[in-house]
Each structure stands twice: as C-alpha cells, then as structure tokens.
Amino acid sequence: MATSLLTSDELSALADGVKDGSIPVDTGFNTAARVRKHDLASENSSLGVNISAIDMINEKFIRTFRLGLLEMLRTSPRVNPTQVQIVRFGDYLKSLKAPLSVNVIRVNPLRGYSIVVIDPTVVFSSLDSFFGGFGKGVGDLPPGRLFTPTESRIINMILDVFFRSLQDAWAPVMPVEFELVSSEINPQFAQIADENDLVVLTRFEAEGNIDAKGFVDLVYPYASLKPIRELLRSRVQSGDGIEESDKQWHDELGEAVDSADLEVRVLMGAVESSFGEIQSFKEGDVLYFKKPELARLMVNGLPAFDVQVGTLGAQTAVQIERAFILGLQ
C-alpha cells in the first residue's frame, strides 16, 4: 500500500490555499487569452478565401451568362446563383446522383482542376428550346445513361457560353483562361481533390419555361484559390472594374434585346365556331365574319397595335393608328 507524502491536514490546507489564491498555481493554460471559434469546414474571409469576392464574380458572371443563353436559345431561362459554400469534397460528391454532365476543367493560371456539373434537366430544357420548343425538361434517367451526340453538342455550347461569361467576370480580378479536360457522367470519376479536402461550391439554379428546374455547379478546390486570397480581398475592397463591368453589361443587354427576333402578325378578324362545326369544314366552305374598322397587329401572340390595312404601291401594308398595350404610346 502506497504511503501518502502529505497528511490529511496538509492536503486540506493545500486545497484551501489553491482555492483562495494564496498558493499560486501554473496550469499551463493562458486563461486570459481570447479565443475565437472557427470552423475549418467553412473558412471565412479573415482566415482564408474571401467568399464575398467569389459572390461578386458570380454576380457579374450571371449577367453575361443569361445574355449568352438568350442568344443561343432565343429564350431566357431564369438562372440565379445561390450563396457560395465551402464544403468537403466527399460530402459534395455524396449529394450528387448520376447521370450528370460532369466536366473537369483547368482554370489557368490557378493550380489544380475544377469541375462544372450540369444537371440533365438543364441539358434537355436547353435542347428543347434550341429546336423551337418551350424548354421542357426530363424526368429521372438510368444511372448509366450516356448523352447522345446531339445532347453532347448542346452541353458543349452551354460550356462555351459558361467559359466566356466566367472569363469576363474574372477579368477585373485577374485574367484567366478555361480549358475543358474531360467529361464524365458519374461524379465519382471526377477526383479533383481528396474526400476531406475543402472545395468552394457555387450552385446556379436554372428554371425553364415549363416546370423544368435544374442546376449548374461550379466547384473550385479551396487550395487553388488560397494563393490568390489577398488579390481577391483587395479587388473587393477597391471595387476595381465594377462600374466598367456594369456599363458593359448594360450595353450588351441593350444589344441583345434590340436584336431579339419577334413574330409580327396582322389579325383581320375572328370567327367563333364549335368543335363539331370545325370537323365538318371542307374545301370550298365560306366563313363570314364582321370586319372591324381596324385590324390588330400581334407581336409574339400579344396584341400590340390597332392598324389600318391598305396598300403602298404594289405592297399590302398597315398603318399604325394607336397602341393597344399600355405603355406603348
């Protein structure tokens, strides 16, 4: 049995001395220091990459990207960036479900590889719009389903617009160039980082004209952005290039709107008829209708102006009499 070096009275006196502070104690801890809580899985701008800078780049990007899609598809799907997140790469991969258009890219001069992930709904909605449809999406696909050559062509067209828009958005910060390295349908094959490595994730939510909702993800390895974190922080603080970029966006938007194709028709009159009557129509039948004083000029199916129908030289022509849509005075 071990023998105590101190008696019970001595132990009691020692404890009382520590408690009332008469006996100094060095625990090895600096109890006066202030500690700030920090989650390494969500590094903030003071310790790592300035997320506000990525948000600003994304805001500039989305403006140009929308215009590019408008020129390509002749329709403007609603595309909006979500809040930038810093997550573990393994957790991000677990959230994805094949098949997807997973595109490994290089962002020169940044080191390493990044990925652009395009949801199949975006691919099929864009394909439908490109061929004159209303942007209809697609349901669930088998995990091993490959994209056809036509679908792959649409994906490449989307990536071309994506890269050009992102290059313009990065220009006020630093010049970058994008290079497509490989394409996969299974995100597990796009190993741009280890499972526990951090990545910077931006999800752009896309919505077509017909209940077609999908996403486009842009994923940078955290390690590729960390060497330029001071550059990102300084550009955000100074606001370099913001006014010039906004003016350029405004000018490009005006040009895209001015060059948009619209269908113009002149409606001379209308006849109401039942489905049964229409079924009995045959060649040579005559339909009677009351001709209005003015015809109606329709733009993309919407009434725009009341017009007078006549001739000008050898051509049939219309003369605008008054605006039909409020605000077109």
pLDDT at residue 246 in the model: 57
DSSP state, residue 301:
T
The listed range with the strongest mean pLDDT (22-26, 127-131, 151-155) is 151-155
CA 277 from centre of chain: 50
Residue 83 CA: distances (Å) to CA of 176, 202, 217: 23, 7, 12
Does the pLDDT at position 79 exceed 50? Answer: yes
pLDDT at residue 45 in the model: 42
Q: Name which residue leads in pLDDT, 52 or 149.
A: 149
pLDDT at residue 136 in the model: 79
Q: Are 165 and 64 in contact (CB under 8 A)?
A: yes
3-class DSSP state for residue 206? strand
pLDDT at residue 144 in the model: 85
Does the pLDDT at position 67 exceed 60? Answer: yes
pLDDT at residue 309 in the model: 87
Phi-psi map region of 220: left, alpha, beta (phi>0 left; psi -120 to 50 alpha): beta
User: What angle (nearest 5°) sits at the alpha carbon of residue 219, between those of residues 216 and 225?
Assistant: 145
* Token code pair at residue 295: 């015809």
* Token code pair at residue 224: 């590729």
Q: What is the pLDDT of residues 297-322, one digit of tens each?
A: 888 778 888 898 888 888 888 888 88
Q: Name which residue leads in pLDDT, 48 or 192.
A: 192
pLDDT at residue 232 in the model: 83
Q: What is the pLDDT of residues 262-296, one digit of tens each?
A: 888 888 877 888 888 888 888 888 888 777 888 88
The listed range with the strongest mean pLDDT (73-82, 204-213, 231-240) is 73-82
Nearest CA-CA partner of 130 in 204, 208, 193: 208
Residue 196 CA: distances (Å) to CA of 39, 41, 92, 322: 14, 10, 10, 66
3-class DSSP state for residue 91? helix
For the chain, domains (ranges, CATH) are 41-258 (3.40.1550.10), 264-323 (2.30.330.10)
Residue 323: band (very low, low, confident or very high) from pLDDT cuts 50, 70, 90: confident
pLDDT at residue 58 in the model: 92
Q: Which amino acid is at 265?
A: R
Angle, helices 242-258/51-73, rounded to nearest 10 degrees: 10
Which class for 172: exposed (0-12), middle (13-18), buried (19 or more C-beta within 10 A)?
middle
Query: Which of 23-32, 103-112, 174-183 is the least confident region?
Result: 23-32
Which class for 9: exposed (0-12), middle (13-18), buried (19 or more C-beta within 10 A)?
exposed
DSSP state, residue 188:
G
Q: What percent of the chain has pLDDT over 90?
A: 36
DSSP run (H or E) holding 307: strand 302-312
Q: What is the pLDDT of residues 173-207, one digit of tens each?
A: 899 999 999 999 999 999 899 999 999 999 999 88
Average pLDDT score over the chain? 82
